[in-house]
Chains A and B, each alone.
Chain A
Amino acid sequence: MKIQPEHQGEDKLLEVQDLTVKFALRKGILPAVNNVSFTLNRGERLGLVGESGAGKSVTGFALLNLISKPGFIDSGKVLFGGRDISALKDDEMRKIRGDRISMIFQDPMMTLNPVLTIGTQMVETIQAHRNISRAEAERICLDKLRKVYIPSPEKRLTQYPHEFSGGMRQRIVIAIALLLEPSLIIADEPTTALDVTIQAEIMDLLLELCEVHNMGLILITHDLAVVSQVTQKIAVMYAGRIIEMGLTQEIVTNPLHPYTQGLIKALPQAGPRGARLNQIPGIMPSLYNMPSGCAFNPRCTKKLPLCCEEMPTLSSRESGSLVACHCV
């Protein structure tokens, strides 16, 4: 998994090794995330890209050990700062959540509790992790609200979520994620629920904050355009596996896996004016009936006979990217 050999060693913030998450359903135990491995250095930004149902969000939750029933982490390690946090007791894990690792969700309308003022929700977050007075906690809140460019934060602290617009709410969610200065933020489609102008604004803000605070970011999204502007590395997921991973520049300009190529061709700006957009035919297979061999083979344009028989493994190519495909 060495993508940037020169950065290995003491700089490593997060190391995920062979993470497998399974769901115990009526039809049997099905894997939603399969042998996912990646590393993230301090201050580095990784994009986790894929279609709906590829296992991106499940991976995100698994990092925080928050897979809810009937799912469970079957095997694998999540080393955070050198410590395996996937095996921690719930009590100790809670100390890490929100403090060292925070998460931002898709829909800011839903992630703030509608009956508590944002001041209460922010102070509560700080006091859950630090033993400090309310006044001191409020001072930190004001500071963070200013960082996300909320005007007159003193007044805003006493307001309820419904008194804010969608973009403002997402900034507040980001401010909450920043409160304890975590070293890693997991952003699960942070801009999907916002309109396009606000999307750019929020992404710029996230990027700026990550750079200023030297925070790591895992950006979970299906939007390659957003990822290419913000992250340094990209991991493309398909049907619960990482099928291509490498430097953002490399993946965007020179995608190797047919699926990644399809994703990039599907971006509107790629083709000539007036031409039909490319699309990848078919849909992702459900967990219930995975094809044999490579999970992408029914939709693949470069299918070889081997593809239906053997699952390709991730291996590195000359460009430095890791690809799981028989034909490249």
Chain B
Amino acid sequence: MGRLKLFRESFFVYSFLRDPVAIGSFIMLLFFLIAGFSAPLTAPTNPYDTAQIDVMNSEMPPVWIPGGSPDFPLGTDAQGRDMLSTILYGTRVSVLIGLGAVALQAFLGISLGLISGYTGGRVDSILMRVADVQLSFSTYMVAIFLGAIFQTALGVGYYEDVAVPFLIIVIGLAEWPQYARTVRASVLAEKKKEYVEAARVIGLPAWRIMWRHILPNTMTPVLVISTVQVANAIMSEAALSFIGLGMPVTKPSLGSLIKSGFEYIFSGSWWITLFPGLVLIGLILAINLLGDWMRDFLNPKLYKN
């Protein structure tokens, strides 16, 4: 109870409650997250279950357009799946991949950045050159390369089952240098401070000084880039799905939904692409606005205004 009360009275909550943009984007994000993760309970149909799909219902428009049916409030796609349910499930897949990829990026990037910054010397040079090489490949290039190999090696049928972890690994591997460089830069600044010297004088082992003493002091930039990176990872996944190297159409993410509707957009079925697209934009926007607010909040130089 004590901690909860402390949190409620903190400056973090205080400034959050006084920023309408932050509240708005937080509510929007929360809405998408709850909707996505409660999909199995709230969605009218299960788009993964082929028994519930009827091809006769394909390409039905949303309910407010003549020809629509109240069973399918946002219409159906080319296979007759309810768009609302598919979007709910798709949001879940997209967010899951985004968070998973960022967790992997953060784990790799923080560990390597911490070791690199604290150890210095040759280890630092090698790790940072590896990061440079990694950054010189675009995320999409790495993903396309690996994706093509995996899809061929595993076969399309098996690939469906491992698509989520695969995308998490690909996007996670491609973007770790962002974290590594940020953490390394902060570690270099923190390392010179006296509390690190004091910790060494106390006789603490190096790993403990790194993880317990330096890492918590470098968390501010890490938190800020994390929000941006979640949005980036969701977009990367959508882009990969859009070019057919991400989630398969049978287990669609927002990206693969947009792609699957794109083929029908000129035959008039605009809703298959538009609705997932709006959800994607809303999700990214909410995360980025929240990230912006957090960056401003965590930057004490901006308080003076």
> CB within 8 Å of B: which residues of A?
64, 66, 94-99, 102-103, 105-107, 110-116, 124-125, 128-129, 173, 176
Contacts and interface: CB of A to CB of B under 8 A. Distances in A.
A66 B217 CA distance: 23
Contacts of B198: 103, 105, 111-112, 173
18 contacts: A66-B201, A97-B200, A98-B201, A98-B202, A98-B204, A102-B202, A105-B194, A105-B197, A106-B194, A111-B194, A111-B197, A112-B195, A113-B199, A116-B213, A124-B202, A124-B212, A125-B204, A128-B203
Contacts of A128: 202-205, 208
B63 to A, nearest CB: 53
Contacts, number: 63
A125 B195 contact: no
A176 B199 CA distance: 11
A106 B199 CA distance: 15
A99 B203 contact: yes
Interface string B188-230: 0000011101111111110010001100110000000000000
A61 to B, nearest CB: 9
B205 A94 contact: yes
A115 B194 contact: no
Contacts of A99: 203
A114 B195 contact: yes
Given A115-B217, A128-B208, A96 B203 contact: yes
Nearest to B191: A68
Contacts of B194: 105-107, 110-111
A249 to B, nearest CB: 31
Given A107-B194, A113-B213, A115-B216, A66 B200 contact: yes
Interface in B8-25: none
Nearest to B198: A111
B195 A113 contact: yes
A281 B205 CA distance: 46
Contacts of B201: 64, 66, 97-98, 102-103, 105
A94 B199 CA distance: 11
B253 to A, nearest CB: 37
Contacts of A98: 201-204
* CB-based closest 7 A-B pairs: A98-B203, A97-B203, A98-B202, A110-B194, A111-B198, A115-B216, A103-B201
Given A110-B193, A128-B205, 11 more contacts: A64-B201, A97-B201, A97-B203, A98-B203, A111-B194, A114-B195, A114-B217, A115-B216, A116-B213, A124-B204, A124-B212
Nearest to B190: A113
Interface string B145-159: 000000000000000
B206 to A, nearest CB: 9
B189 to A, nearest CB: 13
Contacts of B197: 66, 105, 111
A109 to B, nearest CB: 9
Q: Which of B200, B208, B213 is the most central at the interface, judged by chain A CB atoms within 10 Å of its CB?
A: B200
A115 B215 CA distance: 10
A98 B197 CA distance: 12
Q: Which of A96, A98, A102 is the most central at the interface, judged by chain B CB atoms within 10 Å of its CB?
A: A98
Q: Which of A103, A111, A116 is the most central at the interface, judged by chain B CB atoms within 10 Å of its CB?
A: A111
B135 to A, nearest CB: 28
